[in-house]
Amino acid sequence: MRVLLVDDEKELVSTLAERLSLRGIEADWVTDVNDALEKVDTRTYDIAVLDVKIPKMSGIELKKKLEKKSPNMKFLFMTGHGSENDFKAGVAEAGAEYYLPKPVNIEVLIEKMHKATEK
């Protein structure tokens, strides 16, 4: 499985990528939406894990752009901001089935990644 992690918190995504790698999951990370869009132009990912609130555009907007470039990619969202109801409403609008609160539990992340890519 190949995953793209997108969050403006460098320490978070770099740590998650390292922890996923230790479990045999290939993970790339970026801290900018433009870098995420460029990555998808050069590599194929099974799943993207997106922060809901990223500078320049929301994670939901980024999902829509990534879907155009890679229609088979699955998505998870993570957030540390806003109310749970606001978050659920935004994710429902984007069509995502899975989300994670920060701090992200690595085992829950892996479980949700497997469930999302099985569909």
26-56 burial, b if ≥16 CB within 10 A, otherwise e?
Answer: ebbbbbebeebbebbeeeebbbbbbbbbbee
pTM listed for this prediction: 0.89
Tell me the pairing of strands 57-58 and 99-101.
unpaired
Average model confidence (pLDDT) for the chain?
88
Look up the CATH superfamily of 2-118: Response regulator (3.40.50.2300)
Torsion of CA 20, 67, 119, 27, to 10 degrees: -10
* Cβ-contact 66, 41 below 8 angstroms: no
Which tens digit of pLDDT belongs to each residue from 51-106?
988 889 988 899 999 999 999 999 998 887 656 666 666 666 555 567 777 888 99
